[in-house]
Structure 1
Amino acid sequence: MLKGSSPLIFERSTEDRFAYSLPDLEVEREELADIIDSKFLRRTEAELPEISELDLIRHYTELSNKNYGVDSGFYPLGSCTMKYNPKMNEKVARLPGFANSHPLQNDKANQGSLEIAYDMQEHLKALTGMDEITLQPAAGAQGEWTSLLIIKAFHQANGDYDRTEVIVPDSAHGTNPSSAKVAGFDVVTVKSNDRGLVDIDHLKSVTGEKTAAIMLTNPNTLGLFEEDIIEIRDIIHEAGGKIYYDGANLNAIMAKVRPGDMGFDAVHLNLHKTFTGPHGGGGPGSGPIGVKSELAKFLPKPMIVKNDDDSYKVEHNVPDSIGRIKPFFGNFGIFLRAYTYIRTMGPDGLEEVSENAVLNANYVMRRLEGTYELPYQQHCKHEFVISGSRQKKMGVRTMDIAKRLLDYGYHPPTIYFPLNVEECMMIEPTETESKETLDGFVDALIQISKEAEKEPDTVLEAPYTTVVSRLDETQAARKPVLRFQHENIVDEK
């Protein structure tokens, strides 16, 4: 058995045990060649574990209990908005009329689903201040890339082929420069000032005739609202560029202020963040984008439109479109969950979400500022950054603090991001957590700081309570063990 873990399913295997009961084949194996092409026939038995149904169930139940998610504990990942996924959303998404529909049905058979999609677009227009919406992108990063392709198409339609640069703040999400590069742009970095905001003088110096767009998150990745957003808008627009809004942090301003009213030309939203769609397990995500009217004709096709007779259709005749970027019209089950959330909360509820998210973040930040370094003193929005630089002087780094948090039962926050804050911890409590949960988390971080001062080895050797203790991270990166082999078994006899 692997040291410190439950038996692997292969270790549970005992010859001639089965977790299924199937009738014998009515066709002899050699006769299968007459039915199935021989190249598809297995020549040797599959190397599968032989195990009873009960042991199989216990195996997967044990695995599931080792997983960590929002339903099992506090998940304060900064910039990821890991908030509770209401079970009402799940129930609606599983209604047979939605769950059993298929995008290849004709429009007449899909009227209910199309109406939901169209209405969702209208809600997102109202929330963002944009003129048109598409639900097609499958995630935030794909929404970024799609928006930049639309901006490129706009410039090229105007004969402006020399706009090859996209400006990205040094505190931006990593997907921003990546999306710009994949869309074919050169990335230009604009520095932050000593208050964590866009340095206006530096922005002026890097903006010019080659500027296609600037990508901004507001509030930014440090959890700070860009106070000079109107001046930033004017600088970029006067240079002929467009302003793109990374909607990852909309949770801070929802129903309070709209990107469109700030002057943004395009926006993506993370329905699996702000609007409570499931976020873990790699997705599926949903990253709708919205644009102002002058960019609308370049949106990906097909579009979901409303006919004069109040019926709905999937419109493929969009001649200036950048083309299809996702099969059909998006991850329907995810935006159905988000639609349920929006309709359940209503405008007043969504505004209260933002207020509580900001309140929770400021409460946690102020409780921690005497223990950890607080690089920016102004009030934050829905998230904030602190630094473990004080603890580093004691020989304990942010990575060690994160690992020690596991012993206290908390998932660590985002660490070492953004890169412009030394020993950074990025914390987003979200609006869904209670004061008691927040206090427990803060108390744990304060206690870990005391341990770093008085008994640093306790922190340096953590975690102690997890299935796997601290790994050699260099070896794990350079020589990862990704596949089970019998020689990986530790003989404990």
Structure 2
Amino acid sequence: MNTNSFALRHIGPREDDQKLMLKSLGLDSMEQLIYETVPDDIRLKKELDLDVAMSEFEYSSHINELSKLNSIYKTYIGLGYHPTILPAVIQRNILENPGWYTAYTPYQAEIAQGRLEALLNFQTMISDLTGMELANASLLDESTAAAEAMSLLFAVRDRDQKKNKVNKFFVSDAILPQTLSLLQTRSTPIGIELVIGDESTFDFSTEYFGAILQYPGKDGQITDIKSFIEKANAANIKVAVAADILSLVKLEAPGALGADVVVGTTQRFGIPMGYGGPHAAYFATKDAYKRDIPGRIIGVTKDANGNRALRMALQTREQHIKRDRATSNICTAQVLLAVMAGMYAVYHGPKGLTHIANGVHNATSTLANAITKLGLKQKNSSFFDTLQVEAHAEKVKAVAEKNKVNFFYPDANTVTISLNETTRLSDLNEIIAILAEAENKTAFTIEAIEASNSIPEALQRETEFLTLDVFNSHHSETELMRYIKKLERKDLSLNHSMISLGSCTMKLNAAAEMLPISSPNWGAIHPFVPVEQAEGYHVVLKKLEDQLTEITGFAGTSLQPNSGAQGEYAGLMVIKAYHESRGEHHRNICLIPSSAHGTNPASAVMAGMKVVVTKATEEGNIDVEDLRQKAELHKDNLSALMVTYPSTHGVYESAIKEITKIVHDNGGQVYMDGANMNAQVGLTNPGNIGADVCHLNLHKTFAIPHGGGGPGVGPICVAEQLVPFLPSNPIIKTGGDKAITAISSAPFGSALVCLISYGYIRMLGVKGIKKSTEVAILNANYIKQRLQGAFETLYSGERGRAAHEMIIDCRPFKANGIEVTDIAKRLMDYGFHSPTVSFPVAGTMMIEPTESESKQEMDRFCDAMISIKNEIDTVTKEETNNVLKNAPHTLDMVTSDEWLFPYSREKAAFPMDYVRDNKFWPTVRRVDDAYGDRNLICTCAPIEEYMDA
């Protein structure tokens, strides 16, 4: 046995176990299983052109050598990205801790109370600093958040009779360039007209529904946003402000100045730049817009005992539920990064953040004085951390790069310099020396950093922030370490047991894949450095693009989309650009099967398309004749079909090639949702089934951890005719020669975590990656077989096999008074996270074990499910005081002096012997969703406020 084989470590069932599992399915070989599962006409005829596998040790040496190709310069580029200091206690106990990074989105609140509390801290921090009533639990990046702000203000204008036909949106020319690019991408398809200009000369006419300002501006100047907002409010123009989070420690909160939405990034709060991401954006707004806010909101509610509990609030306004009525398709957050940024605020507290902000500002003021003393002009009259210097850009750049320093050069005669929390006195003297040499001046030494204030009095912060105990209690490492551990213990993650969520592919996130993201050689690179300084990144990213292009059978890949939802949108926008390049601007019909992912119709609407839903057959497949009729009916305007393969019902539809041909014959392009790509890799691919573009969820198939609800990466892979339209970036060119404008802030999206997927493919190699797909299919069919008789599978392929996941039908148990939710909650008592509940069919569970789970773990899960079925058989509709309706059972319940239930404490807490060995205790009883929505509290409110509600 080659114990250096990564595939041996990644794939759960041992070879002997695989033989036993195949035997239980009545099969002699893996080849026979794949023959019975995957339609023969879409099978790949040859092996993928990928490298042979590396061992973990070989990969570690390889990725370390590549990291040395990156050049670590002192970076003062700014533009929304800054060097930071990540406290080691947060790095070690959150970023590098599988208890935090392997958790799923907290839909099962009772076993996610730790993460929910950490996110509530994040929301409170954002609400406090922005001065807004409501913040969400993060978005993807600042530019995306700004685009979502524009969309929200456009959506709510319909409630104003005077504004509901107005479509102009003012954008300050001080906005970050990447944000402007993304606003351009998002505005056109939904009919918004952007007007870019100088905010000081804006006329506040009735033609505008909204405006967005940058605070401070991209060049560092702090403008009078207070006067602007007052005039806008008087003209009934709603204002969004994109604000630097650290500057808000010293600048007055935009909410206190009358802003309607405040957005930005929390990257400055200890998160490495990582060549562009991932970082948690923030989005804060007024309570009046709580039904319109994109992303997720964490709220306070109570459990079955009336005790305080946390949950994801207002879930019915989530985009994947609203479908084609959604104004946003964002159902991905950046939870892991939001947790880290929130913990940075917990660790430093208001006094620590004030010290950091003062340090940055004082250093900037000291540098400004020194630049003037040097005889150069510094153009910003007020600033927080960024200066504009009149100087010969090319000369300064040459001297700076010789000294391993990066500034930003917006034009030939301007240099901008953004300071950060890592800047020290010696750095200021180095900057002065560079400017002096470039401009032929005499350098001098700055003796000390002087305290001063270069912020206008009217904009200086007066509003208190971070006053609650949580931000004033954990300032020693011991205390923070224990607080992080306390929260971690409340969450069930992959380091405890299998998370068999269908469509979410919760596979192993191997430590060898994760280690490089902690390296400064990868973390300390600004996304806008000259490309030659990021050579290591470009080697990895180009190789990853090539790997994904080969795996999908396409011609090109863009890594820019930083979530699955972004990938969906990017794919549709590329299709739209392709049609328009052919003079077919009128093609706007998007066919979407009724079984599709809920974000699909939301994405189509955002891309300016009209959704036409096609039917499904009783077997759960696409109704080919209905699709044919609708494709022919709309052939003159058909833009695209969005299809998931294998289907969301867990079946390889044998008619898929006929389906894609129908769409092509009627002038459309085929978009394939890559959520189920874990059932394709090495066996078939989107190119082979006739698709033109697909997005991939790297946080599913390619092993980036879910991180409790993000980070995600959703690159798109495209056929040859779509390659010219892949997205670009306004500062670092990416994409094709007819590139669409930006899809996310950074040129390569969340580049840092792309290292994980690169490592996954390099260490599995061409044979291991195919074997992973085969075992994923084997594991799913093994569970299907084991549950047969207790839970019936709703859909199967033509030969009776499931793909990599299956849907079990829980609707018959309503006769016993048991809902699918009761099964989900009871599974917690057995130590398992529930499979996906009521998606895509209400009253069902979708189970996906992935290839990483061992036969022993799957047997435990199946034993638990069969035991629950036996419990269901013993209860009646009339008697609701039963072990399922009361689940989950907490430690408080089981150790209480009073026990009012007609079953034993042992049955409640230890329903099977294996549970005793590794008991996970839910920390709250079943949460009351309706109460939380009626009494919405989304910050760390004092207990009195919660009780009043």
Coarse TM-score class (shorter-chain normalised): 0.7 to 0.9
- Residue 467 of structure 1 is aligned with which of 899, 919, 923? 923
1-structure distance, mates of 2:927, 2:546 = 49
Which string of whole-angstrom CA distances, capped at 9 and with x for unpartnered residues, describes residues 280-314 of structure 1? Answer: 333221111111111111111159xxxxxxxxx95
Q: CA deviation at 1:463?
A: 1.0
Which of 116-125 and 51-60 deviates more?
Answer: 51-60
Matched residue, 2:865: 445
Q: Are the counterparts in 1 of residues 579 and 587 from structure 2 also a CA contact under 8 Å? A: yes
Q: Are the counterparts in 2 of residues 150 and 298 from structure 1 also a CA contact under 8 Å? A: yes
Matched residue, 1:87: 511
- Residue 942 of structure 2 is aligned with which of 481, 485, 490? 485
- Which residue identity does 1:458 align to in structure 2? V
Determine helix, strand or coil for the equivalent of 2:747. coil
2-structure distance, mates of 1:393, 1:488 = 41
Which string of whole-angstrom CA distances, capped at 9 and with x for unpartnered residues, describes residues 75-115 of structure 1? Answer: 11110111110011111233332222222221221112111
Q: Does 1:195 align with 2:622?
A: no
Q: CA deviation at 1:319?
A: 4.8
Determine helix, strand or coil for the equivalent of 2:888. coil
- Which residue identity does 2:860 align to in structure 1? G
Q: Are the counterparts in 2 of residues 215 and 244 from structure 1 also a CA contact under 8 Å? A: yes
Determine helix, strand or coil for the equivalent of 2:489. helix
Q: Are the counterparts in 1 of residues 725 and 735 from structure 2 also a CA contact under 8 Å? A: no
Structure 1 pair 40/218, CA: closer, same or farther in 2 (3 Å)?
same
- Residue 386 of structure 1 is aligned with which of 808, 822, 830? 808
Matched residue, 1:320: 738
Q: 1:143-158 alignment to 2 at 5 Å?
A: 143-158=567-582
Q: CA deviation at 1:489?
A: 7.1
User: What residue ranges of structure 1 are gaps of 5+ in the alignment?
Assistant: 7-17, 304-312
Matched residue, 1:162: 586
- Which residue identity does 2:926 align to in structure 1? R
2-structure distance, mates of 1:92, 1:472 = 41
Structure 1 pair 131/35, CA: closer, same or farther in 2 (3 Å)?
closer
Q: Does 1:458 align with 2:883?
A: yes
Matched residue, 2:78: none
Matched residue, 1:102: 526
Matched residue, 1:240: 667
Which string of whole-angstrom CA distances, capped at 9 and with x for unpartnered residues, describes residues 2-57 of structure 1? Answer: 97679xxxxxxxxxxx99998x99x9xxx978565554344768524253634444
Matched residue, 2:644: 217
Matched residue, 1:336: 755
1-structure distance, mates of 2:628, 2:574 = 24
Select the structure of larger CA radius of gyration.
2
1-structure distance, mates of 2:569, 2:540 = 25
Matched residue, 2:819: 397
Structure 1 pair 239/477, CA: closer, same or farther in 2 (3 Å)?
same
1-structure distance, mates of 2:640, 2:465 = 57
Q: 1:245-256 alignment to 2 at 5 Å?
A: 245-256=672-683
Matched residue, 2:131: none
Determine helix, strand or coil for the equivalent of 2:717. strand
Which of 94-103 and 247-256 deviates more?
Answer: 94-103
Q: Are the counterparts in 2 of residues 407 and 462 from structure 1 also a CA contact under 8 Å? A: yes
- Residue 786 of structure 2 is aligned with which of 361, 367, 386? 367
Q: CA deviation at 1:225?
A: 0.4
Q: Are the counterparts in 2 of residues 163 and 211 from structure 1 also a CA contact under 8 Å? A: yes
**Normalization by structure 1: what TM-score?**
0.87
**Normalization by structure 2: what TM-score?**
0.46
Q: Are the counterparts in 2 of residues 373 and 389 from structure 1 also a CA contact under 8 Å? A: no
- Which residue identity does 2:533 align to in structure 1? A
**Runs of 4 or more above 6 Å deviation:** 18-22
2-structure distance, mates of 1:33, 1:43 = 20
- Residue 356 of structure 1 is aligned with which of 771, 775, 779? 775
- Which residue identity does 2:654 align to in structure 1? E
C-alpha RMSD over aligned residues: 2.7
Structure 1 pair 51/162, CA: closer, same or farther in 2 (3 Å)?
closer
- Which residue identity does 2:883 align to in structure 1? T
2-structure distance, mates of 1:221, 1:43 = 49
Structure 1 pair 472/44, CA: closer, same or farther in 2 (3 Å)?
closer
Q: Are the counterparts in 2 of residues 167 and 188 from structure 1 also a CA contact under 8 Å? A: yes
Matched residue, 1:306: none
Q: Are the counterparts in 2 of residues 214 and 236 from structure 1 also a CA contact under 8 Å? A: yes
2-structure distance, mates of 1:127, 1:258 = 7
Q: CA deviation at 1:138?
A: 0.5
2-structure distance, mates of 1:373, 1:418 = 16
2-structure distance, mates of 1:389, 1:34 = 66
- Which residue identity does 1:171 align to in structure 2? S
1-structure distance, mates of 2:653, 2:804 = 14
Structure 1 pair 5/486, CA: closer, same or farther in 2 (3 Å)?
closer
Determine helix, strand or coil for the equivalent of 2:753. helix
Structure 1 pair 86/181, CA: closer, same or farther in 2 (3 Å)?
same
Determine helix, strand or coil for the equivalent of 2:534. helix
Q: CA deviation at 1:336?
A: 1.1
- Which residue identity does 1:395 align to in structure 2? G
Which string of whole-angstrom CA distances, capped at 9 and with x for unpartnered residues, describes residues 376-407 of structure 1? Answer: 24211110001112211111010111111111
Q: How many residues align?
A: 463
1-structure distance, mates of 2:762, 2:452 = 56
Determine helix, strand or coil for the equivalent of 1:339. helix
2-structure distance, mates of 1:179, 1:453 = 43
Question: Identity over aligned residues, as a percent?
Answer: 37
1-structure distance, mates of 2:465, 2:810 = 54
- Residue 276 of structure 1 is aligned with which of 703, 716, 719? 703
Determine helix, strand or coil for the equivalent of 2:493. coil
Q: Does 1:118 align with 2:545?
A: no
- Which residue identity does 2:889 align to in structure 1? Y
1-structure distance, mates of 2:930, 2:463 = 41
2-structure distance, mates of 1:152, 1:142 = 15
- Residue 406 of structure 1 is aligned with which of 820, 825, 828? 828
